[in-house]
Amino acid sequence: MNRTKRKIFETSMNLFATKGYDATSIEEITSVVGVAKGTLYYHFSSKEEIFNFLIEEGMKLLQNSMTIKVEKCHTLKDKLRAILLIQIKVMVKYQDFMTIVLSEVLGKESRNLTCRKYVFEYIDILESIISESINNGEAELKNLGDPKALATGLFGTTYSILLHKIKSDEELDIKTLYKEYEKIIFPR
């Protein structure tokens, strides 16, 4: 991605996260980036295309990060811990992106359906990881319950992490945050 396209991408992400999609105009994006509308339209045909590109790229990052980390794990418990850590890292590092996804996942507009599609794809990946471990006969998994509910709940921790981060209004240490959520998800 060239410098101008990246600047449009990052500026749009920040504006969508802070003001909301509807309250952000193309004029505002071009003003903050410092480019003419023609330059923006050279890279993106519309505000909706910027939004869709942002969601697609961000969710790919989350999925790829999680997949790479999980492939190195042998037990479901280790996989779930790895997923939790990745979700925390993504939430802390890419708060604007996750704010957009989590705020736009509900509703019936095209952008809501796009967010929902990518979130559900991610949850489906989590569910398949859980189901595969159960099908492989991991003994500790007999009382886990529904893999879909577990996968959805694990993704749901991103909501609570975002709320925790907003409420604390300070930079959060990933390791400290991970240890706190690990206690909740894996009580001893």
Nearest CA to 87 among 59, 114, 55? 59
Same domain, 76 and 145: yes
Give the residue numbers spanning the domain of 97. 52-185
- Reported as a single tens digit per residue, the pLDDT across 118-165 is 999 999 999 999 888 878 776 565 566 788 988 998 898 888 887 887
Nearest CA to 99 among 6, 45, 20? 20
Nearest CA to 86 among 102, 114, 65? 65
Same domain, 125 and 107: yes
Q: What is the CATH number of the domain that holds 135?
A: 1.10.357.10
pLDDT at 142: 56
pTM of this structure: 0.87
Contact assessment for residue 178 and residue 88, using Cβ atoms and an 8 Å cutoff: yes
- Reported as a single tens digit per residue, the pLDDT across 64-109 is 999 999 999 988 889 989 999 999 998 888 889 999 998 999 999 9
pLDDT at 34: 94
Same domain, 92 and 155: yes
Same domain, 145 and 59: yes
